[in-house]
Amino acid sequence: MRRPRLEAALVVSSTVAFAALTWFIVSGQSHELDVGSRQVLFTPRSAWGQVAEALSLLTHPLVMLAAILVATALSFKQRMRRLTVALAITASGIPLQLLLAAWIDRPRPQTHFADSVSFYLPGSFPNGHVTAVLLGSWVLVTLTRAHRRPQTWVLGRTLLAAGAVALTGLAQWSTGMARTSDLLGGVLLGTAVANLGLFIGGIETILSGWAHFGLPEERTGKRAAVVLNPTKVDDLSLLRRRVESEVLRAGWEPTLWLETTPQDAGAQAATRALEEGVDLVMVVGGDGTVRAVCTTLAGTGTAVALVPAGTGNLLARNLMVPLDTDSALRLALHGRSRPVDVVRLRAQDEQGRETEERFVVMAGMGLDAKIMEDTDDDLKKVIRSGAYAVAAVANAVPDPFKARVSLDDEPAQEQEVVMALLGNVGTITGGMTLFPQAEPDDGRVDLLLASPERVTDWARLGAQILTGRELEGFTLASARRVVIEADEPVPFEIDGDTAGQVRRLEVEVEPGTLRVIVPQ
């Protein structure tokens, strides 16, 4: 039986059992089950009574909810999106328990501990402490597995989790705070919600990707290199465990690890990977690292796999590469290789000095470069792509410049613009599609010339982009070769990185020179 089906079966069976138990309680038929539940083993002033009360405070549903929400936020920060979904669903089980308890409104037992803070919860069934601790314990075990800890860790924390649930139930029962049926209801509800989180979040992605299970009997003889930007990775040791576990499960050889530096965005690391003869280069970083690695690998035949770790992740988004790290790693080892165009660019500054670059996503002159230049890096860490919007508002009425534009062998045309944007793909930051017809392997580069005069023009452009309508009042074109000459130096950016000011750009497409791993 596949694990997802098992999780679904556990959800259904636990829910049915919980519904049946609820019916027995509401109809007053739970007396035999609750025999002995009114015996209070400890008094509030006894040593064991105080221990039991302290345990009940530590396992209060609101305390457990806060802990699960912290784990959810950390998992999202570590780009474990499927795990984040599962934990968020798990956290919802605690408010659900409180709502059910208030709706069923079963009176609490009479006990000497009735003045305890932990006693003040709506209703008695299902028991909130057991539900919350079971969910919290499930989070502990799931995090251990998702973080690729050794099997001994998993076993130890599983026993710890089971013990925590048992102790919590014992503390509630021995102090008379809960009946046996209340505790059973908490177990059934917690089990149903926990397994629902596993099922919806993706049990195969969360629990099956650790190194000691499912190893193939035969090795492929292949080896991958990881080129990573350490500033984009919150927990490098966790990333290493996640990569190595997927590599081992796929039957690949141990991975070559290479880091970028402030002086090198990834070109030297990619060159080193080629010298080592690896079969695949995984790039973990933002758009700048992706560009450096991809342009180095172009024309070599060695494929690149994207493991998104930046703010934009534009190439990954356009190629439908998942932003969840586990999913991206699995795709890297099992996806298909697709040819992608690379665009060669020659830029000339005011002094006539030329530089040559390549890009795989976008480049531009004017407003877009100004926005990139004015985007606050610290703000980007907090609100991510929203920081670009803040910079865009600050440049809502930009100064235009005159540009002469020639496409392929056509005569040059002159017009006044505020932005000249070149795209190898169609979608930019924020999921906005500027080039609806753009394909990364069509052998052409797309061009957008924008010359809005008022803020209302930008509002119209935004509305057209969001509704998917054809852009009116803006020049759209595509060509194999594009030359843009400005009458003055203007800001310039390439794949989101500012690159000074230029007077002239000459771009030409190199069709299908890069191999990228994409979904089947």
Indicate the pairing of strand 256-259 with strand 224-228: parallel
CA distances from 448 to 172, 361, 424, 489, 490 (A): 67, 14, 12, 19, 16
| Distance spanning both ends of the chain, measured CA to CA | 25
pLDDT at residue 287, as a whole number: 87
User: Which residues touch 520 (CB under 8 Å, ≥6 apart)?
Assistant: 335, 336
- Structural domains of the chain, ranges and CATH numbers in brackets: 6-210 (no CATH), 214-334 (3.40.50.10330), 343-510 (2.60.200.40)
pLDDT at residue 293, as a whole number: 94
Q: Which of 307, 290, 495, 312 is nearest to 386 (CA)?
A: 312
Q: pLDDT tens-digit profile of 190-231?
A: 999 988 888 887 755 444 444 444 556 577 889 999 999 988
Contact assessment for residue 280 and residue 305, using Cβ atoms and an 8 Å cutoff: yes
User: Which residues touch 18 (CB under 8 Å, ≥6 apart)?
Assistant: 126, 185, 188, 189, 192
Hey, what amino acid is at 247? V
Q: Which of 208, 211, 118, 131 is nearest to 169 (CA)?
A: 131
pLDDT at residue 228, as a whole number: 92
DSSP-derived secondary structure for 445-478 = EEEEEE---SHHHHHHHHHHHHHTPPPSSSEEEE
pLDDT at residue 56, as a whole number: 75
pLDDT at residue 513, as a whole number: 95
Contact assessment for residue 433 and residue 467, using Cβ atoms and an 8 Å cutoff: no
Task: Show the beta-strand stretches assigned E in 242-369.
Answer: 256-259, 280-285, 303-308, 336-348, 354-359, 362-366
Tokens of 12: 């259904």
pLDDT at residue 394, as a whole number: 43
Angle at 519 between CA 256 and CA 310, to 5 degrees: 60
Q: Which of 273, 317, 308 is nearest to 290 (CA)?
A: 308
**Orientation of helix 81-104 relative to helix 61-77, angle to 10°:** 160
Angle at 291 between CA 285 and CA 293, to 5 degrees: 75
Tokens of 328: 């991206």
Q: pLDDT tens-digit profile of 363-377?
A: 888 876 666 655 545
Angle at 73 between CA 68 and CA 75, to 5 degrees: 95
pTM of the model: 0.71
Low-confidence residues of the chain: pLDDT under 50? 1-2, 205-213, 376, 378-396, 466-468
Alpha-carbon gap, residue 494 to 364, rounded angstroms: 7
